[in-house]
Amino acid sequence: MTTEPLESEVRSAANVICRFGGRYSMELGIDVSAGDTREVFKWFLAAMLFGARISEKLAAKTYRAFAHEALVSPQRILERGWDGLVAVLDAGGYVRYDFKTATKLLNVCGSLVERYGGDLGRLHRMAESPGDLEERIKSLGKGIGEITLGIFLRELRGVWTKAQPALAEPALEAAKALGFLPTESSDRGLALENLLRIWSEEGHAAKDFPDFESALVRAGLTIRRQRRFGRRVG
């Protein structure tokens, strides 16, 4: 069945959020808005799960399996051990990456505890610049790449002063497709500045911009699916 194009219902940043949803963290019951180190770690854990080549649905289900087991701190994850983590990953449907992810989680949490007392907020405070922040996070363990980093820091923009990740490609694609940016836009830094300006001009607080940015990512992924299947998705 043919549906109306995405553009037909999008008239403002607020409408994009209403249609596609905002922060992924809020959907998982995580509130990073105050920078609470416990909440930030929960989102970091979720970001590591979302960063693999796995569906959002399975990544979210797996995070909730960790939350159900109260495995939402680096210390608790280390205490559970490799076999226990594999069992939780499998329960969440993360079977394809269970062994590798269990190892990654133990290595990352071990580094975080050893270097920063298990406190990501301390890591942020010790970082000298946005670039240094990203390098410190990636150096926690093998397997934290640009995708995981972008997912994690995007929702901390405006919460952590040094969280300044590049605009994600799906967000740029959506912003152009929905008329927020010229179709020839390719400079992601300039695109981000323009989107921040649009957000401000609509009267929204800077700290809530991650809702718009995440909504654009969601919209961009929807647009990619539309192109893949050669049809509009309502």
What are the residue ranges spanned by the domains of the chain? Answer: 11-22+167-227, 26-145
One DSSP character per residue, 171-194 reads HHHHHHHTTSS-TT---HHHHHHH
**Choices 3.90.1210.10, 1.10.340.30, 3.30.43.10, 1.10.3720.10: CATH for 26-145:** 1.10.340.30
- On the question of pLDDT at 8 being above 60, the answer is no
Place of tokens 């995440």: 214
The phi and psi torsions of 157 (rounded to 5 degrees) equal -60, 130
Q: Is the dihedral of CA 180, 186, 188, 191 positive or negative?
A: negative
Contact in structure between 202 and 149 (CB atoms under 8 Å): no
How many angstroms separate the first and last alpha carbons of the chain?
Answer: 10
Mean pLDDT of all residues in 59-88: 98
Q: What is the pLDDT of residues 185-214, one digit of tens each?
A: 889 999 999 999 999 999 999 999 999 999
Q: Supply the pLDDT for residue 181.
A: 95
Confidence of residue 178 (pLDDT cuts 50, 70, 90): very high
Q: What is the pTM of this model?
A: 0.91
pLDDT reading at 4 higher than 50? no
- Looking at the DSSP bridge assignments, the partners of residue 154 are none
Count how many Cα atoms sit within 13 Å of the Cα of residue 193 in the half-sphere of its side chain: 5
